[in-house]
Amino acid sequence: MKIRKVEKAGNIINDKACILVVDDEYRLLKSLENMLLNQGYEVQTAQGGIQACDKLSRHSFDLVLLDLNMADMNGHQVMDFMTKKDINTATIVVSGESSFSAVSKALRRGAYDYLKKPYDPEELLSTIDSALQKVMLEKAHTSMQSRLKKSEELHRYIVNSSPDIVFMLDQKGCFTFLNSKVESILGYKKAELIGKPYQSIVDSADIQRANYIFDEQSSKKSGAWSSEIRLKAKKTDHTARHFEITFFPIENNAKSKTQIQAKQVPPVKSKIIGTYGTARDITERKEAEEFINFQAYHDLLTRLPNRALFKDRLNISIAQAKRNKAGVAVMFLDLDRFKIVNDTLGHAMGDRLLQSVALRLESCVRKCDTLSRFGGDEFTLLLPSISSAEDARTIAKKVISTLKEPFMLGEHEVFVGVSIGIAIYPDAGCTVDELIQNADIAMYHVKSRGKDGYQFFSDTMAVNTSNRLSLERDLRNALDQNEFRVFYQPQINANSGKVIGVEALVRWQHPERGLVYPGEFIPLAEETRLMSDISDWVLMTACKEVKGWIDNGHKDIRLSVNFSPLQVEHPKFVHRLLARLRQADFPPQNLEIELTENVIMNDLENMVQKLSSLAEHGLKIAIDDFGTGYSSLNYLRKLPIHTLKVDQSFIQDINDTQNEACIVNAIVSMAHGLKLNIIAEGVETKAQLEYLKLLGCQEIQGFYFGKAEPGDKALKLINQSLDHSMAC
């Protein structure tokens, strides 16, 4: 029976339909109740209108069978009550009254149907059935509506509370929908963008990319497309923010796709009717990434590229130079005196100095060059395509002169110099590491000569890389293993032929390589800071040995000792030196210390104090390799200098050109004018000797008289010279 179906259909209450039967005639009421109970309905009865209203207020029914003519309260009044109380229960009027007005009145009040008494039971049951069907459908509809509404609200909530901007575009790329995030993130009102093309908020730099992606996705229908695109923010002056935007094409027969895949229906040509997309603000992530990237490849103090970026660029430059058969220059720059500033004025000032140095260095280089901070006070400079070494020389000179100007750090005026080593590809190396290392080696050659200057790497400096490592290791052991030796080269009085002094020169008796000369290990020793210890050892050893000679009758013999810049710069230089002399019981007036001009010029004010103090103790001071550095007359007046040692390069050219001789002439006459002692170094021939004698140069040192020899041989030579003065 149909009724069962209704009942089974769940009747919204999920089991039996519940019917209220209202009639004031008890007999009829009971017969209706029984009939309906027999049909499986749940039934309640009300004998009269008042009781009906009471039950309707307290219970919920699916259907009311309502009599019209009732003594206490008629059916119309019950219906009015229901309207008033908003009780929507479907009502079938079952009445003896069949006047048109009564029927129409009942129907107008919302009755579902009207049956006249005496009713035909079949007709009544069929009317109840269809009324309940309607009730069920209405309830299902209402429930569906409410579920839809809830679902819509949920989706709206999800879309609006999404952290991303959600949008829809039509086929032309104009906005048809935007969630409210567009306002909080970019500052646009939704209404002002609806109907506008997406290009109106895309940053001009990314328009082309956005167009490409939009065109691709709307023509190929190939699923989602994602890309990073910058959008203009309205609220912050159209500054761009970074977004990760994902586009999904909207097809007009989206459902058919799944069916096609399941091979249920033949493929239908789908059409893209718009785009759905999300835009996620990744600005903070981008900025963090950029910062991390910057940090990974830059030095944060000077904001210059760091070692990693420098090596990367050098690698590229080498590859390009290989193709173009061009040159590449790598310069290694090390600041002189930076440590002094850092130690005396503090690290904050040291940092400021590095920043100022970086700015000045940047002014010396071109856009295509790479200047990097390599670490500490070391900088590297890459000149990616040079036509000749002269280009690098020009830059090196420029850098040196730029850094010569004093730096103002607060109220302090600070002077720093720079030592530059230059390695040119391919002559000085073909790989990144070779070039950097060789520039570094060349730089240490500048340092070992007293700093401030530049030097190109040459093969003679090369202690090849693997040798270099083993050399460094051996060098560290050499002092402990007692492998260093002091050799003495005689210094002769040109007129008498007598040995008046000796220069102590260090040698390294290497267990495998034999006798190693200082040119091969001093730069590395300077670099590794072992030079202080080595020079100190030379001083002690020479003092002890020569003290023996002095005690044995050579009381005027002069001992000349070379000093490393590392030793001289030390704040306790004077104190340490005097302590050493006391330790060796060496008479200070027999000692001459040899310094290069650059060592003196690096810190002139300090030098005046240190050297004056040594001179007061009777020590003598010689300027070694004179003529190759500043050759400034100024410091000669300020400092207690006793001797100038004319560099051997000027002596060796005496025979060749008059020019060089002119320099020697000038130096000798200047020394005479300043009442300074003068020693000519590197005299190898009789002609050189004669020329120097003519000039009035009193003291000579060079292979012509003898090389540096171990102490016993040197002593023999001294004795011989005293016995029958040497042939001059």
592 scored as a contact of Mg ion (CB under 5 A) = no
Q: Which one, 49 or 490, has the nearer CB to ligand C2E?
A: 490
Query: How far apart are the C-alpha atoms of 165 and 281, rounded to whole Å?
Result: 8
What distance in Å separates the CA atoms of residue 62 and residue 53, rounded to the nearest whole number?
Answer: 15
Give the shortest CB-448-to-ligand C2E separation in angstroms: 7
535 makes contact with ligand C2E (CB under 6 A) = yes
Site string for ligand C2E, 539-568 (x = CB under 6 A): -----------------------xxx----
Per the CB < 8 A criterion, the answer to whether 60 and 14 are in contact is no
Give the residue, chosen from 305, 490, 702, 711, that forms a contact with ligand C2E under the rule CB under 6 A: 702
Please report, as a single letter, which amino acid is at residue 378: E
179 versus 596: smaller Cβ distance to ligand C2E: 596
Taking the complex as a whole, the smallest distance from the CB of residue 420 to ligand C2E amounts, in Å, to 20
Q: Indicate whether 654 belongs to the interface with ligand C2E (CB under 6 A).
A: no
Binding to ligand C2E by residue 522, rule CB under 6 A? yes
Nearer to Mg ion, 370 or 562 (CB): 562
Contact between 302 and ligand C2E per CB under 6 A: no
Task: Please answer whether residues 461 and 669 qualify as being in contact, where contact means their C-beta atoms are separated by less than 8 angstroms.
Answer: no
Closest distance between Mg ion and the C-beta of residue 708, in Å?
10
- From CA 426, how far away is CA 420, in angstroms rounded? 19
Question: Which of 55, 41, 54 is CA-nearest to residue 7?
Answer: 41
Minimum CB distance to ligand C2E smaller for 249 or for 702:
702
Question: Applying CB under 6 A, which part among 3-11, 153-161, 266-274, 518-526 lies near ligand C2E?
Answer: 518-526
543 C-beta neighbours (distance < 10 Å), count: 23
Residue with tokens 């699916």: 62
Helices (H), 231-336: 254-261, 283-297, 307-324
What is the total residue count of the chain?
A: 728
Cβ of 614: how many Cβ atoms within 10 Å?
Answer: 21
Q: Which two tokens stand for residue 499?
A: 């040995």
- Which range of residues in 50-58, 75-83, 288-296, 513-521 is near ligand C2E by CB under 6 A? 513-521
682 contacts ligand C2E (rule: CB under 6 A): yes
CB closer to ligand C2E out of 51 and 648 = 648
Task: Report in angstroms how near the CB of residue 501 gets to Mg ion at its nearest.
Answer: 12
Out of 43, 335, 392, 506, point to the residue binding ligand C2E (CB under 6 A).
506
For ligand C2E, the binding residues in 585-614 under the rule CB under 6 A are 594
CB 491, CB 679: distance < 8 Å: yes
- Per CB under 6 A, 625 contacts ligand C2E: yes
To the nearest whole angstrom, how small is the minimum distance from the Cβ of residue 682 to ligand C2E?
4
Does residue 710 interact with ligand C2E by CB under 6 A? Answer: no
Task: Report CA torsion sign: 303, 306, 308, 310.
Answer: positive
Q: Which does 563 bind (CB under 5 to 8 A by kind): ligand C2E, Mg ion, none?
A: ligand C2E
Question: Torsion over CA of 625, 628, 630 and 633, rounded to 10 degrees?
Answer: 60
Site size toward ligand C2E (CB under 6 A) is: 25
d(CA 368, CA 423): 18
Q: Which of 562, 590, 598, 701 binds Mg ion (CB under 5 A)?
A: 562
Structure tokens at 459: 């093969």
- Cis bond upstream, residue 640 (ω within 30): no
713 to each of 70, 487, 603, how far by Cα in Å?
153, 9, 39
Between β-strands 620-626 and 643-646, what pairing exists: parallel, antiparallel or unpaired? parallel
Instruction: Tell me which residues touch Mg ion (CB under 5 A).
Output: 562, 594, 624-625, 681
Instruction: Tell me which residues touch ligand C2E (CB under 6 A).
Output: 489, 504-506, 517-519, 522, 535, 538, 562-564, 594, 624-625, 648, 681-684, 701-703, 708
